[in-house]
């Protein structure tokens, strides 16, 4: 028994679903490609929709704070915007193109904008968040609210 009753082969001509300006048709095609890639090639090591200009992010949590670190090599503080709105941390930035002569050479550096949204847990003091940018790494520390932290308690389950 197959998990999916139909198989699509790589040598088949793909069926075009209606007009490509129809957002549902485009979504249908993208989902088909995702499932085809998964069932024919296995789970991709990198999602097909990944954006190379998105910064790598690490989120960690302790008893007292949540820390978010983002790799932003080659950027300056003035090109980065950090905001917290409710339980969502937004990192926006733009890596600008350098204007220097390469004497007939070329550059393979990537330039562009990014917009990264990171969900945050409840119980943080967003107004006390601190951000430090050092050696291409942005580190944001958001302290936890001790009142909300102490408010959570374990409830034992009784068996009858």
Q: What is the pLDDT of residue 1?
A: 45
pLDDT at residue 143 tops 50: yes
Its pTM stands at: 0.58
* Residue 101, pLDDT score: 57
DSSP string, 122-159: SSB-GGG-EEEEETTEEEEEEEB-HHHHHH----PPPP
The 10s digit of each residue's pLDDT in 88-122 is 999 998 877 665 656 767 666 667 788 888 999 88
pLDDT per residue over 65-90, tens digit each? 999 999 988 888 998 999 998 889 99
The region of weakest confidence among 30-39, 58-67, 89-98 is 30-39
Give the CATH number of domain 57-99+110-148; options: 2.40.50.100, 1.10.10.60, 3.90.79.10, 2.60.40.790. Answer: 2.60.40.790
The average confidence (pLDDT) of the chain is 76
3-state helix, strand, coil in the chain (%, to 5): 20, 30, 50
Sequence spans of domains, the chain: 1-50, 57-99+110-148
Check residue 82 and give its pLDDT: 95
């Amino acid at each position: 028994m197959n998990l999916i009753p139909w198989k699509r082969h790589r040598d088949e001509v793909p069926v075009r679903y209606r007009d490509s300006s129809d957002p549902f048709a485009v979504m249908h095609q993208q989902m088909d490609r995702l499932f085809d890639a998964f069932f024919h090639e296995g789970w991709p090591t990198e999602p097909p929709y990944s954006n190379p200009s998105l910064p790598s992010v690490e989120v960690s949590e302790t008893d007292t704070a949540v820390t978010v670190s983002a790799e932003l090599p080659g950027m300056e503080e003035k090109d980065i915007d950090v905001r917290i709105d409710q339980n969502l941390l937004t990192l926006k930035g733009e890596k600008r193109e350098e204007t220097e002569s390469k004497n007939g050479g070329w550059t393979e550096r990537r330039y562009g904008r990014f917009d990264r949204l990171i969900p945050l847990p409840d119980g943080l003091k967003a107004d006390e968040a601190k951000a430090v940018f050092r050696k291409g790494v942005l580190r944001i520390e958001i302290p936890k609210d001790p009142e909300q932290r102490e408010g959570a308690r374990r409830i034992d389950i009784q068996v009858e």
